[in-house]
Amino acid sequence: MISTPPLTAAAPQVRSATVLVNGHRLHYRSAGSGPVVLLVHGIAGSGATWKRLLQPLAQGHRVIALDLLGHGLSAKPRGDYSLAGHASVVRDFLDALGIADVSAVGHSYGGGVVMQLLYQYPERVNRLVLISSGGLGPEVTPLLRLAAVQVAEPLTRYVLRAAMALPAGGRVPRRLRDAVWPRRIEDFLPAMAEPGGCAAFFNTVRGVIDFRGQRIDATGRLPHVRDTPVLAIWGDADRILPVAHIRTLEAVATAQLHVLPRVGHFPHEERAEEVTALIQDFLAQPRRRPARPLHATA
């Protein structure tokens, strides 16, 4: 078991801020100073998903957890919610903050975004961390395949109105949560219920998924990452994206692959200390390092 050192009494303060990018408000949380680590969440998520990693990683780094366009507290305009569109917005976001390059960390859909950022703007990404990443195989939970069907959007709007009318600000009964999504779905109900939030969600889903599964396949582009250090982390109990997808990255000579036993789709929430320690170790390594074999972390 890898353990991460406890936070010191002077733990870096987390700040919340917004910046205008191409006329749209982007919200982000940040802490620390030094080389920049950019954290990118998955579909229907926000930068809040990184709350247990932000301060520990900020000891020696400037860590930024972005709410992607259409998510969290960021604007939700009509627009381009494709992977390429998100990558372009992230590039413009970094420009707005005066940041030249980052170590990019992406979870689920965010993994696809940071890979796309590397493909489009290789000079902006010096390291890549993929956590339960999308884009590495067609298989995906049936829930998201259903979400890609056109009739799902009006149905979801109806369910959202009903859920937000529940007591306690839209709390969803545990049985329903577990049946629909393996985490607290009320965490992202408010953002989806905002004007444009539901449309942004479905536009994002349809950009990468159809009723057969993931439409975007990064396999053909993996040669583009051959000179970039890669850390991949996955849970062996992932019900959203199967752990077998991590083996796609065995073709990348610079990749270090870690499978966490008894962990689902959110390793950075379920085993935050261990994931933090893996990322800290990865960031501390020399830029070029021989690949490590796939192994399970107890």
Among 86, 132, 238, 245, the active-site one is 238
- State phi, psi for 46 to the nearest 5 degrees: -160, 180
Q: What is the Cα–Cα distance from 233 to 129, expressed in whole angstroms? A: 8
DSSP state of 5: P
Q: Identify the sign of the CA torsion 271, 207, 115, 243.
A: positive
Are 248 and 137 in contact, with CB atoms under 8 Å apart? yes
How many other C-beta atoms can be found within 10 angstroms of the C-beta atom of residue 255?
23
Question: Whose structure tokens read 């030249």?
Answer: 100
281 is catalytic: no
Is 258 one of the catalytic residues? no
Q: Catalytic: which of 74, 108, 132, 133?
A: 108
Instruction: Give how far the C-alpha of residue 156 lies from the chain's centroid of Cα atoms, to the nearest Å.
Output: 23
> Residue 147 contacts by C-beta under 8 Å, 6 or more apart in sequence?
156, 201, 202, 205, 209
The DSSP H or E segment spanning 86 is helix 83-96
Alpha-carbon distance 45 to 146, whole Å?
Answer: 18
* DSSP-derived secondary structure letter, 288: S
Active site residues: 108, 238, 265
